[in-house]
Amino acid sequence: MKNKIKLKINNQELTGSEGETILEVAARNGVEIPTLCHHPDFCDKGNCRVCVVEMKGNDRLVTSCSTKAGDGMEIITESEKIKKVRNVNIELIYAEHVEKCATCVWRFECKLLAFAQKYQTKIVRFEDRKKNRQIHKLKNALEIDGTQCIDCRNCISACQNLQKLDCLVMRGKGHGQEVDFRDNKKNPCILCGQCALHCPVSAIQEQTNYEDFEREVKNKEKTVVVILDPVMAVSIGENFDMKKVELNSVASALKQLGVNYVFNSALGVEINSYIQSEQILENDGKKLMIGSHCPATINYIKQYQPALADNLQKIKSPAIIMGGLIKTYWSDKLKLDPSKISVISIGVCVARKNEIVEKKTQFNGLWPVDYALTLRELSFLLKKNKLTLEKTKTKSIDALNGESTELFSASVFASILERLKSNNQINKINSEKGVHNFDEFILLQNEHGKELASLKGIGEINKIVDHMEKYSYLEIMSCPDGCFGGGGQPIPTTEELRKKRRHAFLAKKMPKNFSREKLDNQIVDILEWLSDNNLENKILFQ
Ligand code: SF4
Ligand code: SF4
Ligand code: FES
């Protein structure tokens, strides 16, 4: 039990716990202090100095995010002195962040831009220090714009502390220092996007594809089909100050932008889960199976644990399966030329940008998914076109076969468990085993009593690699809390927000008429059609 302390903030007597920062005590008591580089996932480095406050007895202002609250302290969070110093700090940050707001996907949510407007700072007072810096690109997924970086090192902390990888480096010294990717052969990046998710100024971010989207919807020759990740419904509202958003509203807004059809990828999740559930039972614990639905995890296994590569399931990920079905099964029903269909996946994953261009996804000379955008890029497109996500009565989500499929399971693993549980084949033994983000279940049917487990956050993988023999099936999601903390989610994403999104998702009620049997019959119809058309392997397996 931590000792209690008493302090005054803005002349108000407040109580804190030993070890808490001034910022934490203030936030818990509703006192707002602006912050930029602070992120609750990491220890504060006190870098941007936007959060400065006055402390009685100190001539110099202190950074509230990195200064521990102490008994008897007297803190002031707004004064002329603070305003002056904070404004100079913001102006100095702008000297490191060349203004490219017009084309920045983060411009509608950018804290730095909001501060400049709120505090009326002169953003051009100091000369741009970094205007000659380079943009470092990694594959087709990520980029670091050296002209934008404010040297806070949050990206490096995300890679090292959260993901326990070491793919970023601060090169140079003093004014010449610059974040860069390390040698991708020696320290391969898995493209999880956690660095981008933790950058306060979007200096490291996804390579955007919103211009491809804009070009495709203008092209009258093309039928544009969007596949949405269902988990987006519980987080996109954060960018629109809305508590609840229905995927149907997102679909409706996309159609106003010129998209012809919008599916959610739930059917892809269910097909993937249907096939994997059968394989798990057939395998009966003989060989360790590792799910292949998280593209960043596949990158991780291949690059860091090659001995496990053979254990990766060969089934394609839900978005790739959906794209394949759209260009075969669905186009055949609608008599559309698949080469004139443009499939755009929009979701919470950065690694997908690279997954969709991998040769092994191709079939009959076609790419199942042509472009992959993040939720952040979608928010940007909607705001740029002044579209909102209000509830709509029009049914805008389309159905690939029969009724559109809703996703009720929080992941492929959850859906697999549902299937096995409904057949009495598993017994839940542990859901939060004291290990962060770790779920374990035992497969009863297996005489060896091996377990099925889901690990969320590649940084936690050391907790299982030393006893792999315990498991018959592993789902490994590379991002903390899986897709709820996906690299393409809104910024900021904190542990609290990840939890909130997960709870909102799990609180979704099954509609009364939902029948897994009906859904599985629908899946069987599709699988039979693929098999009759000799497409099963091409669309489902890699
Ligand atoms: S994408 Fe992931 S692995 Fe790559 S640098 Fe960023 S945090 Fe590290
Ligand atoms: S890229 Fe972003 S997170 Fe990384 S040091 Fe620069 S400003 Fe900070
Ligand atoms: S938020 Fe405190 S120093 Fe940046």
Domain residue limits, the chain: 4-78, 94-206, 210-268+317-404, 272-316+408-506
- CATH dotted code for 272-316+408-506: 3.40.950.10
Architecture of domain 94-206: 2-Layer Sandwich (3.30)
Q: Which atom of ligand 3 is nearest to the CA of 37?
A: 4
Please tell me the distance between residue 337's alpha carbon and the centre of ligand 3 in angstroms. Answer: 54
Q: Which atom of ligand 3 is nearest to the CA of 65?
A: 2
- Residue 410 is predicted with a pLDDT of 66
Specify whether the backbone of 241 is left (phi greater than 0), alpha (psi in -120 to 50) or beta: left
Q: What is the pLDDT of residues 187-210, one digit of tens each?
A: 999 999 999 999 999 999 999 999
Q: Where would I find the H helices in 19-79?
A: 22-28
Distance CA 206, CA 380 (A): 13
pTM of the model: 0.94
| Percent over 90 (pLDDT), the chain | 71
User: How sure is the predictor about 429, in pLDDT bands with cuts at 50, 70 and 90?
Assistant: low
Distance CA 148, CA 348 (A): 23
Distance CA 180, CA 200 (A): 17
Q: Whose CA is nearest to atom 7 of ligand 1?
A: 159
Distance CA 133, CA 502 (A): 39
Other C-beta atoms closer than 10 Å to the C-beta of 416 total: 27
Distance CA 484, CA 1 (A): 31
Please tell me the distance between residue 255's alpha carbon and the centre of ligand 3 in angstroms. Answer: 41
Ligand minimally distant from the alpha carbon of residue 33: 3
pLDDT at 126 over 80: no
Distance CA 470, CA 29 (A): 46
Nearest Cα to Cα of residue 475 among 429, 440, 504: 440
CATH class of 4-78: alpha beta
For helices 516-532 and 412-422, the axis angle rounded to 10 degrees is: 110
In sequence order, the 6+-apart residues with CB closer than 8 A to the CB of 221 are 340
CB 48 within 8 A of CB 97: no
The finding on whether 155 has its CB within 6 A of some atom of ligand 2 is yes
Instruction: List residues bridging with 95 in a β-sheet.
Output: none
Q: What is the pLDDT of residues 505-527, one digit of tens each?
A: 888 777 777 788 888 899 999 99
More confident residue, 449 or 45: 45
272-289 mean pLDDT: 92
CA 210-214-218 angle, 5° bins = 165
Ligand minimally distant from the alpha carbon of residue 152: 2
Nearest Cα to Cα of residue 248 among 271, 269, 272, 232: 232
- CATH dotted code for 210-268+317-404: 3.40.50.1780
Sign for the pseudo-dihedral over CA of 154, 156, 458, 348? positive
Q: Which atom of ligand 1 is nearest to the CA of 168?
A: 5
Considering only 197-206, 415-424, 473-482, which range has the smallest mean pLDDT?
415-424
- The letter for the amino acid at 254 is L
The residue assigned the tokens 């950065």 is: 350
- Residue 433 is predicted with a pLDDT of 43
Ligand 1 pocket, residues with Cβ under 6 angstroms: 142, 158-159, 163, 165, 167-168, 189-195
Specify whether the backbone of 233 is left (phi greater than 0), alpha (psi in -120 to 50) or beta: alpha
Considering only 70-84, 218-232, 446-460, 485-499, which range has the smallest mean pLDDT?
446-460
Q: What is the pLDDT of residues 142-168, one digit of tens each?
A: 999 999 999 999 999 999 999 999 999
- Residue 1 is predicted with a pLDDT of 66
